[in-house]
């Protein structure tokens, strides 16, 4: 507990010093743009794609989504620990964003690709590509910084 009361001028001075520059705002926005595109595709289109284009049953798609959310609940904290322990000249989180940008782009395309496979292999394809897309190496570490 502080012995001196906080007055209005203390709050105003703090607010002025905490503002981000336009360059910083653009940098944060661009840093999150790729992850947002993938998230919007998953939220708005992936269920339709898997059932109507890819040919999976809704039960399989629902099972796929819930299984990977459970996996995600385990992998996200582990990714945070891994990113926190990363030591490089670029910092802790930027290397992860740089290293996985192209692989996540490729996996994003493969997730929305319909290979000519058997039904069981299509399920494995959907599970594998969505798993790789869901791991979240490209965008989640910067939330912790």
Per-residue model confidence as pLDDT tens digits over 109-144: 999 999 999 999 999 999 999 988 887 554 444 444
Q: What is the average pLDDT across 48-57?
A: 93
How many whole angstroms separate alpha carbon 83 and alpha carbon 138?
11
CA–chain centroid gap for 41, Å, is 12
Q: Is the pLDDT of residue 2 over 70?
A: no
**Rounded CA Rg of the chain:** 21
CA–chain centroid gap for 14, Å, is 32
């Amino acid at each position: 507990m502080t012995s001196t009361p906080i007055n209005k001028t203390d709050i105003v001075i703090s607010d002025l010093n905490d503002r981000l520059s336009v360059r910083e705002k653009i940098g944060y926005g661009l840093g999150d743009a790729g992850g947002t595109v993938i998230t919007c595709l998953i939220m708005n289109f992936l269920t339709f794609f898997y059932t109507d284009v890819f040919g999976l049953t809704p039960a399989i798609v629902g099972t796929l989504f819930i299984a990977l959310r459970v996996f995600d609940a385990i992998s996200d904290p582990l990714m945070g620990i891994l990113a926190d322990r990363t030591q490089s000249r670029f910092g802790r989180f930027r290397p992860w964003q740089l290293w996985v940008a192209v692989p996540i782009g490729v996996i994003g395309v493969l997730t929305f690709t319909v290979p000519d496979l058997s039904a069981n292999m299509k399920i494995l394809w959907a599970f594998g590509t969505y798993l790789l897309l869901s791991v979240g190496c490209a965008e989640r570490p910067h939330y912790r910084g």
